[in-house]
Amino acid sequence: MQDKTILALTFIRQVVLTLPDVYEQICFDTPAFYVNKNIFARLKEDGENLVIHTIEREKWMDKDPKTFFITDHYLKYKYMLVNLDRVEPEDLRQLLLTAFKTRASKTTLKKKH
Going residue by residue through the chain, which has 113 residues, state the pLDDT in tens, using 9 for 90 and above.
678 888 999 999 999 999 999 999 999 999 999 999 999 999 999 999 999 999 999 999 999 999 999 999 999 999 999 999 999 999 999 999 999 999 999 999 999 76
Whichever domain contains 81, its CATH number is 3.90.1150.30
**Structural domains counted in the chain:** 1
- Do the domain assignments include residue 113? no
- Do the domain assignments include residue 88? yes
- Do the domain assignments include residue 24? yes
In terms of residue numbers, what domain contains 37? 3-106
What does pTM read for this prediction?
A: 0.94
- Do the domain assignments include residue 60? yes
Quick one: which of 38, 39, 68 has its CA closest to 56?
A: 68
Q: What is the pLDDT of residue 112?
A: 73
Instruction: Provide Rg for the chain, Cα atoms.
Output: 13
| Main-chain phi, psi angles of 62, to 5 degrees | -65, -35
- Do the domain assignments include residue 112? no
